[in-house]
Amino acid sequence: MASLEFRGSLYINGQWCEADDGRTVDVINPATEEPVCQVASCGRAEVTRAIQAAVDAAKAWRDMTPYERAVPLKKVADLIRERVDEVAVPLTLEQGKPLAEARLEVLANATFFEWYAEEGTRVYGEIVPSHFAHKRLFHFHQPVGVCMLVAPWNFPLFLQGRKIAPALAAGCTCICRPSTQTPLNLIKLFELLEDAGVPPGVANLVIGPAGACMDPVYADTRVRQISFSGSVEVGKEIMRRSADHVKKIGIELGGHAPFLAFADFGGAAAATFAAQSKFRNCGQSCISASRFYVHEDIYDAFCAQAVAEAEAIVVGNGMDPGVTMGPIAEPGHLEKVLALIEDARSKGAEILTGGGRPEGLDRGYFVQPTVMTGVTADMQIMQEEPFCPIMPIVPFKTFDEAIAMANDMELALAGYIATHDVTTALRAAEEMDAGIISVGDFSPATVLSPFGGLKQSGLGREGGREGILEYLEAKYVSLALDEERL
């Protein structure tokens, strides 16, 4: 098993360092409530140096050919696969997810760096036929410049890798900020970036509170783009603060994904599909299904199988063999989850299984996988992103009723459809308010396809060709030829 040895906390201009004033923050294991280690908690001065390093490195990195930039990026992918547990073990210790899930998250990062290394060589321009004989019209793409990349704690490596890889492949330089709850996996990734030969200043790592890390970014006109994954409230604040200098922004702000189970799919099969989406990462996923609308003909079978799926989950420390669901990531969120359950219970919901803390797990931020019925629209669990392992189930009679309930929400990131009927699937996909539609697939996120939402779930896309275009600007050239020489 990999040891917890780190070269440093902050990585600025190719050098590992600590905070100037020696300030640190504890990284807590949510399964034990014990500190894993301490990391630096930096201030404005360190972030300002990281911005300067990214600015200084920008021209040389931009001027490299995409094939040259691809060499270290592909090496990063190779190193991730070779040293997966060096990253996965810290990820489990700081975030809580089972080690098997952590390994999958790490390996997904290898695909980001490999795929975008190649996609960088496919950023094509275009020649446009002119309406004037003496004009030639064409456009091409250039990197945006220095970018600030911010990711949350739930999939801290996956969400950062999905930003870092296309940004670097596009020719941008960057400063990366992880959540202070889960910085260790990104420290390890930066060790791999260093070993792969990514030049100094091209990618920089800062760890610290939001004010210290973000205020210099908002103030500096040389930082041209901010990419953020996280809450709606913080995303709106980034939009406001970025307006003064008209920075380009990409924000993915979470969701409250509806799951529509139609009668032809079968109740038991639909519940198994639903549970795979709901309980992964303890329900702490922005695209997890979180509102379950089930046709009345299969409602009873769905509920029975959902209970069986929830009760088969092994809750515990993610480092222990056989554990299939770890803890909630932090104590404040655990309190919110328990409050959601109590709110639903107090308003008439029936708890079919779960509904509290697991027996025998006195330490750690654990909660039982929970299935509830008798759910109404006024319950908090149906009004706000839950980010937890609670499955609220509501019956429906008609297609139109299901779509109306699915779309009655300002968050519109993902939606799930359980049907074998192609017509039903296409109609639902077209009518559902969501940027990502999954038909029979509990885990739709992939490097190959654009990821992002509608309404208040964000702006822009990550993944796919769209993911690299986020870090590029189109430059249009109109060339008038000397008419006398035509």
Residues involved in catalysis: 252, 286
CA distances from 485 to 133, 203, 240, 263, 482 (A): 12, 49, 52, 72, 6
Pairing status of strand 24-29 against strand 248-252: unpaired
- Beta partners for 27? 37
Alpha carbons 286 and 452: distance in angstroms, whole number: 10
* Spatial distance between the Cα atoms of 399 and 151, rounded to a whole number of angstroms: 37
Q: How many CA atoms lie within 13 A of 153 on its CB side?
A: 23
Q: Distance between CA atoms of 432 and 122, rounded to whole angstroms? A: 32
Sign of CA dihedral 87, 90, 92, 94: negative
Distances (CA, A) of 164 to 237, 283, 285: 22, 25, 20
Residues 6+ apart with CB under 8 A from 206: 10, 12, 42, 46, 47, 50, 175, 176, 177, 213
Task: Determine phi and psi for 71, rounding to 5 degrees.
Answer: -60, -55
Question: Given the structure tokens 């034990």, which residue do they identify?
Answer: 32
Contact 230, 237 (CB under 8 A): no
